[in-house]
Structure 1
Amino acid sequence: MIKLENISKSFQINQEELTILRNVNLEIHAGEFVGILGRSGSGKSTLLNLIGFLDTKFSGNYEFEGKKVGEYSDKELSKIRNKNVGFIFQNFALIETMNVRQNIEVPLMYSGISKKKAHHLTKDCLRKVGLVDFESQSVRLLSGGQRQRVAIARSIITSPSFIIADEPTGALDSKTSKEIMDLFQSLNKMGVTIILVTHDESLTSYCNRVIHLLDGEVME
């Protein structure tokens, strides 16, 4: 599904070139649960931005489902990103003025589907993340674990090709972290492809495969 060939990424800072990624080669197949492990500054965030079609300024070749990403316009990439990628962040990224259902339906706002179908999809996602009775609840009243479950529900409502989870348990206690990781594992068993980005080595026990990043290079 995802194929990176000799991907490098550099920034120009004060007339000096800072290389963030160096000749990265990797493949991620549909249905995998892949962990990208590395310390702060290893290039994890840069790599996930690239994989998630948020950054197109790089050297090398990125193929998504057999097509070169560099051949798409920014508008086309935006459509591909909205359709194919679900993002989950450490800080949940929920809209505080909306209730649970409204937050989950945000990715559907420009899809053109009916309200009836949107509500049906929302209920199905709430069932998958264990929040069936929270549809009308204000997100301000939710615990950290519940907020992350809402974020996960929002990420899967469009049935994306893959989910990028960026330090998804970083703001959670150990018990809640385990619950969230168990949820990811159950979603993966349903066929959801998950890319977990973390510096916490203990989380990689949930993954089928682990990619180690060090100073912008894939080590194994």
Structure 2
Amino acid sequence: MIRLENITKTYELAKQEVTVLNDVSLNIFEGDFVGIMGRSGSGKSTLVNLIGFLDKKFKGTYYFEDKLVEQYTDDDLSKIRNENVGFVFQNFGLIENMTVGQNVELPLLYAGISNQEKTRLVAESLEKVGLADFVGQSVKLLSGGQRQRVAIARAIVNSPKFIIADEPTGALDSKTSVDIMQLFTDLNTTSGVTIILVTHDPNLMAHCNREIRVSDGEVVL
């Protein structure tokens, strides 16, 4: 599904060129649960931003479903990202003054579907994460674990091809972290969602079927 060949990413810092990713090549297949492991500053977040179509300024080639990403316009990539990628972040990324249902609905706003269909999809997503009765609840009243479940419901509401989970348990206690990782595992095994987990925590690798280790901007086999 995802194929990167000889990807190099550089920034200019204080008039010097800094290499963040150096000649990275990797494949991610449909149905994978991949763990991208690396210390802070290793380049793993830069790598997943690129995979998630948030950054197209790089050298090398990126194929998504055998199509060359660099041939797409920015508008094309926005559409592809909205239809194919779900994002889950450490800080949840929810809008505080909205309800749970309104947050989950956000990826559907530009999908051109009816309000009735939106309501159905939001309800299905919340049921999958164990929050079926929370649709009208204020986000401000939720625990950290509940907030992350809402974020996951939002990530899966448009049936994405893959989910990028960037340190999804970083702000959670150990028991809640186990529950959230089990939820990702269930989505992967039951619903066939491809999961790309980004973490520096080796304990989370037990949930993955494959590990990609990043160190100093390079993939280490």
What secondary structure does 2:92 align onto? coil
Cα shift at 1:57: 0.4
Q: Deviation string for 1:57-89 (max 9, x for gaps)?
A: 000000000000000111111100111000000
Determine if the alignment matches structure 1 residue 15 to structure 2 residue 9. Answer: no
Residue 207 of structure 2 corresponds to 206
2:67 pairs with 1:106 = no
1:101-140 alignment, distance < 5 Å? 101-140=101-140
SS of equivalent residue, structure 1 residue 134: coil
Structure 2 residue ranges without an equivalent (≥5): none
Q: Which amino acid aligns with 1:217?
A: E
Matched positions, count: 220
Shift of 1:112: 1.2
Tell me the equivalent position of 2:92: 92
* TM-score normalised to structure 1 length: 0.99
The one-letter code matched in structure 2 to 1:87 is: F
Deviation string for 1:4-31 (max 9, x for gaps)? Answer: 0000001111121100001101000000
Q: Which amino acid aligns with 1:131?
A: L
* Deviations, residues 108-162 of structure 1 (Å, cap 9, x unaligned): 1111111111111111111100001111100100000000000000000010110
Give the match for residue 155 of structure 2: 155
Distance 1:19 1:214 in 2: 12
Provide the rounded CA distance (Å) in 1 between the counterparts of 2:2 and 2:157. Answer: 21
Aligned to 2:45: 45
Equivalent-residue separation in structure 1 for 2:150 and 2:53 (angstroms):
23
CA distance in 2, matches of 1:123, 1:130: 10
Query: Structure 1 residues 10-19 or 32-41, which shifts more?
Result: 10-19
Identity of counterpart residues, as a percentage? 65
Tell me which residue corresponds to 2:193.
192
Flag as ranges the 4+ runs of structure 1 deviating above 4 A.
Answer: none
Structural RMSD (CA): 0.5
CA distance in 1, matches of 2:110, 2:41: 35
- Name the CA distance, whole Å, in 1 between partners of 2:26 and 2:158: 26
Query: Structure 1 unaligned runs (5+)?
Result: none
**Which residue matches 2:66?**
66
Q: Take 1:123 and 1:70, find their aligned partners in 2: how far apart are those partners?
A: 36
Which residue of the partner structure matches residue 182 of structure 2? 182
Residue identity matched to 2:205:
T
Equivalent-residue separation in structure 1 for 2:14 and 2:126 (angstroms): 48
Q: Distance in 1 between matches of 2:185 and 2:42?
A: 25
Q: CA deviation at 1:188?
A: 0.2
